[in-house]
A = this chain, B = another copy of it.
Amino acid sequence: MDKVITVSREFGSGGRELGVKLAEKLDIPFYDKELISMAADDINIAEEAFQNYDEHIVIHDPLDRQYYHAFSDIYKVPMSDQIFVAQSNVIRRLAAHGPCVIVGRCADMILDDSINLFIYSKMRDRIKRMLILEPGSDEKEMERRIREVDRKRKEYYQYYTGNTWGRAQNYHLCLDSGLTGVDGCLRAVLAYLGELSE
């Protein structure tokens, strides 16, 4: 495996867990929220500001100056766009450094030569999974949260890539984790990738 693997995922489908396990199996680095700190360092603004904009788009009033970073004062580039550019630069730098697993943040579209996975599962399976991870949560509230995070991810992906989130042909392998669990998906991915090294 000499390629970067990107993982796009529906919220609650276990995409992050799959990414972590895949990176372990392949003995390569895993990047998720770490990308935020690295990108924050890059353009020298508070990590907290990054967290607010991570994986969702914010359309500001162009006259409202406080949302624009001083650096781009002339061009009035919104903070969310600057953060996307900074994260993209970090993603390209990591990819140039060697194989790794990157979860989310449109890495599949930012990189030219990555292997792209998409993980999803039915709403009932995702609620079940999240209620195990966060016992005591309210089921209805969890469903609302899942829909909200997915909506933001979808908008973010479509805004920055112009592509349809979840269209199979955008990815090399798309897996429903509801049927076989994250471990079933992991085996399928390894079997699929196995061919590459033969």
Give A contacts to B, CB under 8 Å: 10, 115, 118, 120, 166-169, 171-176, 179-181, 183-185, 187-196
Contact sample, A vs B, 28 pairs, CB 8 Å cutoff? A118-B174, A120-B169, A166-B168, A166-B169, A167-B167, A167-B168, A168-B174, A169-B176, A171-B174, A171-B176, A172-B175, A172-B179, A173-B175, A173-B176, A173-B188, A175-B192, A179-B192, A179-B196, A180-B193, A181-B195, A184-B191, A184-B196, A187-B191, A187-B192, A187-B195, A188-B189, A188-B192, A191-B192
Chain B, residue nearest A116 (CB):
B176
CA of A187 to CA of B118, assembled, Å: 18
CA of A194 to CA of B171, assembled, Å: 23
CA of A191 to CA of B193, assembled, Å: 12
